[in-house]
Amino acid sequence: MPKHSTQAMAPDFFRPAVGEANAIIKAPQEGDEKLLAELSESKAWIHLKEIIEGTMAALSDSTKKSVGKAKSMEEIGLRYLIHDVSTDSFQSIIDIVELHKTAKYAEESTGKEE
């Protein structure tokens, strides 16, 4: 049985806004790697990550509840599109920090620390 994507498709007129939203979270600048690696191991990051994940879960619940109030298929699609863009943005923050944690451990295991 084919696996279906749950991500909403953006209508053509909405694609520039989706691209702009995705561009908000930029790749770290040179020199940020060490800072992000240190952040990834801090208690502050653990707490912040829990807040972000809780926000994503609340957004999902809110989106599911609001779909019942939608008046058209377009409105349902728009709600899920906004949900997807938002959660993708939150997830990209988590991914950036966690990637640097992984990179730090890889450097330590190969002995390539700066």
What are the domain boundaries of the chain? Answer: 36-110
Q: Between these two residues, 46 and 1, which has the higher pLDDT value? A: 46
What does each C-alpha distance from 45 to 14, 42, 48, 70, 74 come to in angstroms? 33, 5, 5, 36, 38
Query: What pLDDT was estimated at residue 67?
Result: 87
Query: What pLDDT was estimated at residue 35?
Result: 86
Q: Between these two residues, 103 and 21, which has the higher pLDDT value? A: 103
Tokens of 30: 């040179």
